[in-house]
Chains A and B, each alone.
Chain A
Amino acid sequence: MAALLELKNVKKIYDMGRDIHVEALRGVSFSIEEGSYTAIMGHSGSGKSTLLQIMGCLDRVTSGEIVIKGTAVKDMNDFQLAKFRNRTIGFVFQSFNLIGNLTAIENVELPMIYAGVPRAERRKRAMELLKLVGLEEPEERAYHRPNQLSGGQQQRVAIARALANDPAVILADEPTGNLATNQWRRILDIFKRLNESGKTIIIVTHDPLVGQEATRIITLEDGEIIKDERIK
């Protein structure tokens, strides 16, 4: 299968001032195939969050190279990066990060607004996505504010938002970390279903139970890959 995302000897060093440098990634190389379901695991401080930020084009590498869908991210300016994130990457965060003064459906529409999708089309697609992620009574809850929704519902809205522009890859950062067990299960089922329908998914987690869902587990420690195993 074709490589969707490729990291070549990626290093990330944070300059903390006073000549203190923290080496968060010490030369990481791997590639992610289209349609795969990968878990990136590691303890806190292992560099997995840094890796997610770099794969999500939120941060730049110190050295090395990252190629997504055949495009070298290094050469892009801030504007191009924003556009690239908008169309290519769907983020799901641990704390949902819905915009508080927008309704659920407006949150889902947000990436489409940035992409310039016309209003009527946006609304229609946002509603479809809310149904796809199984939001209960979508017609009504779509117009609720995030603080009127449960954690599980908020995370489903967030997944719908990540899917808004049909991105090449979903990047999820501890997506179940703030959820009760029953909600947790439903979120992982959604990812499974999305993967089965062909979506590439990368989940960053420290939780082995979440990692089990994936077909490949990359384990990081101290900014280096210590294990890369494929399941099934």
Chain B
Amino acid sequence: MEILLEAFRSLGKDKLRTFLSMLGIVIGVIAVIVAIAIGAGTTANVTARISSLGSNVIIITPGFTGGFGGRAAMALTSVLQETDVQNIQQMAPDVADVTPILQKNFNVIYQATNTVVTVVGAYPDTFSILDLPLQSGRLLNQNDENADANVAVIGNVIATTLFGNEDPVGQTVYVSTGGFQVPITIVGELKQTGSKLTFNPDNMLIIPYTTAAAKLIQLNGGVSQIIASAKSAQTALNAVDEINNILYMRLQNTNQYRVISQNQILSTVSQTTDVLTLLLASIAAISMVVGGIGIMNIMLVSVTERTKEIGVKMAMGATRRRIMVEFLVESMFITIVAGAIGVGLSFLIAALVTYLASGLGLTVIITWPSIVLSFGVSVAIGLFFGLYPAYLASKKSPVEALRYE
């Protein structure tokens, strides 16, 4: 208790010096906490975006075989076939629903408005697989599919572009393809969902798969990609394996296709952000070490300045251990207070960063482990960098210390 009080007094004697020696640790703690908070915020952001995909979604895309564009790229777009969809449907027990996707950009015309829209041909199941909610009208159904009907469900944003304030349901738009114009009647409008990884339903016109295949996007049985849903989150990985096997049986080359589940994307992304966070935090941690060296420097000066005091205390009967503890308490006092100030200020800085970077969609989430970690490290730095000066103080010869002026 007396030791604490004494430490407080001797630190209070030169407030500027104490403050400056704290500064390094304060900045270090803030840097570590904010760096980890930005990492955590980014992870949360990306995770939320990927999760919006729907929990059990599996995406099958043509693979990359290297090389650039041209013939190779074109050839790959039709690697996946309708037959694959049928095979998955029949042979993958852990897959709930599956749909082929035909996707291409077209000029779409409504009265005087002419704009580029992504037209997607897909089975009615798509709406449940990707969890797309209806705002008005109706979704596509099997009858539309069977009849190659010229009907569509329109995304929220593109509906506003084409129709303004008009109700799109019941209107007819014209999809321009080569010399033809295919009339399509809007039967439903989706709610705004935001981007779902590779899809942005807000800007899409979704039509029956058969309609797309017959009238707009002829790939001779090829499909742009395939989307499936697993029966549950637990069986998602099994479903991925089953789909992989089915595709391998036909294509005999794992490079020609990719099967990715949402969980796989999540873990890849979180691994990446974890590495980035670690990198940021390590750089920040260096500033804490630099701060610790500053404290060691100050403590060494302090030990020299107070040589006489050390001698007097030894003459009064202070043991070497006691002298050592006194100086150690001082350096730890500096880092504990600095750590606490740093933790406090990091909330302020985090709020500031959130405010300034709100346009970037940057989220800053301060996590408990980062607080405990950085505070713990600053205490450890006080101990580590205070140890040597305290040891020197305790090793002084009482006679020489008393003679010091």
Genuine A/B complex = yes
* B258 contacts A by Cβ under 8 Å: no
C-alpha spacing A100/B312, complex, angstroms:
11
B320 smallest CB distance to A (angstroms)? 6
- Point out the residues of chain A lying under 8 angstroms from B13, CB to CB: 100-101
State the main secondary structure of chain A at its contact with B.
helix
From the candidates B6, B313, B315, name the one contacting A58 in the complex (CB within 8 A): B315
Cross-chain contact A111 with B317 (CB below 8 angstroms): yes
Known: A101-B13, A113-B2. A86 touches B399 (CB 8 A): no
Question: Within 8 Å of chain B (Cβ to Cβ): is A161?
Answer: yes
CB distance from A90 to the nearest CB of B (A): 9
B10 and A86 form a contact (CB under 8 A) = no
Whether a CB of chain B sits under 8 angstroms from the CB of A72 is no
Q: Are A85 and B9 in contact (CB under 8 A)?
A: no
- A87 to B313 alpha-carbon distance, docked (Å): 13
B-chain residues with CB within 8 Å of residue A165 when the two chains form the complex? 317
B316 contacts the other chain (Cβ, under 8 Å)? yes
Cα of A78 to Cα of B397 in the assembled complex, Å: 10
The answer to whether A78 and B322 have CB atoms under 8 Å apart is no
Q: Are A82 and B6 in contact (CB under 8 A)?
A: no
Task: Answer whether residue A102 sits at the interface, using C-beta atoms and an 8 A cutoff.
Answer: yes
Q: How far is the CB of B307 from chain A (nearest CB, A)?
A: 12
A99 is an interface residue with CB less than 8 A from chain B? yes
CB within 8 Å for A82 and B320 given contacts A56-B315, A91-B315, A99-B309:
yes
Q: Count residues on chain B whose CB falls below 8 Å from chain A CBs.
A: 23
Q: Write the nearest CB–CB distance from B334 to chain A, whole angstroms.
A: 16
Chain A proximity mask over B13-24: 1 for CB below 8 Å, otherwise 0: 100000000000
CA distance A82 to B321 in the complex (A): 10
In the bound assembly, the distance between CA atoms of A61 and B10 in angstroms comes to 35
Q: Mark B366-405, 1 if CB is under 8 A from A, else 0.
A: 0000000000000000000000000000000111001000
Return chain B residues, CB-CB under 8 Å to A97: 308, 312, 402
Residue of B316, B318, B320, B399 with highest tally of chain A CB at under 10 A: B316
> Is residue B272 within 8 Å, beta carbon to beta carbon, of the partner chain?
no
Judge if B141 is at the interface, Cβ distance under 8 Å.
no
Whether A53 is near chain B, meaning CB under 8 Å from some CB there, is yes
B60 CB, min distance to chain A CBs, angstroms: 75
Within 8 A of B (CB), among A85-114: 85-87, 91, 93, 97, 99-102, 110-111, 113-114
Given A97-B312, A101-B10; A82-B317 close (CB under 8 Å): yes
Contacts of B397 in A (CB 8 A): 59
B317–A102 touching, CB < 8 Å: no
CB nearest to B395 among chain A residues: A78
Chain A interface size, under 10 / 10 to 19 / 20 to 34 / 35 or more: 20 to 34
Q: Is A193 an interface residue (CB 8 A)?
A: no
Chain B 295-319 residues near chain A, CB threshold 8 A = 308-309, 312-319
| Cα A100 to Cα B6 with chains together (Å) | 11
B18 to chain A minimum Cβ distance, whole angstroms, is 13
In the bound complex, CA of A67 to CA of B32 (Å): 59
Q: Are A83 and B317 in contact (CB under 8 A)?
A: yes
Given contacts A97-B308, A102-B9, contact A85 B316 (CB under 8 A): yes
From B9, B312, B399, contact of A101 by CB (8 A): B9
User: How many angstroms between the C-alpha atoms of A99 and B306 in the bound complex?
Assistant: 10
Residue of B10, B309, B322 near A114 (CB, 8 A) is B322
Whole-angstrom distance from the CB of A193 to the nearest CB of chain B?
22
Indicate whether A115 reaches chain B with its CB closer than 8 angstroms: yes
In the bound assembly, the distance between CA atoms of A78 and B318 in angstroms comes to 10
CA A101 – CA B309 in complex, angstroms?
A: 10
Also in contact, A161 and B316, with CB within 8 A (given A59-B399, A101-B9, A101-B13): yes
B9 touches A79 (CB 8 A): no
Bound Cα distance A79, B394 (Å): 11
Which residues of A have CB within 8 Å of B398? 58-59
Contact B399 A115 (CB under 8 A): no
- Cross-chain contact A102 with B6 (CB below 8 angstroms): yes
Alpha-carbon distance between A110 and B312 when the two chains are bound, in angstroms: 11
Whole-angstrom distance between the Cβ of A45 and the nearest chain B Cβ: 14
- Chain B residues positioned under 8 Å from A58 (CB to CB): 314-315, 398-399, 402
Complex CA gap A93/B322 in Å reads 22
Is B9 touching A87 in the complex (CB atoms < 8 A)?
no
The answer to whether B10 touches A111 (Cβ under 8 A) is no
Which residues of A sit under 8 angstroms from B316, Cβ to Cβ? 85-86, 91, 110-111, 114, 161
Q: Which 7 A-B pairs have the closest CB atoms?
A: A86-B317, A82-B319, A101-B9, A58-B398, A114-B317, A97-B312, A111-B316
A–B pairs, 12, beta carbons within 8 Å: A58-B315, A58-B398, A59-B399, A79-B319, A82-B314, A82-B320, A101-B10, A101-B12, A101-B13, A110-B316, A111-B316, A113-B2
Given A58-B398, A97-B312, A115-B317, 13 more A-B residue pairs with CB atoms under 8 Å apart are A58-B314, A79-B319, A79-B321, A82-B317, A82-B320, A85-B314, A87-B317, A91-B316, A102-B6, A110-B313, A110-B316, A114-B318, A161-B316
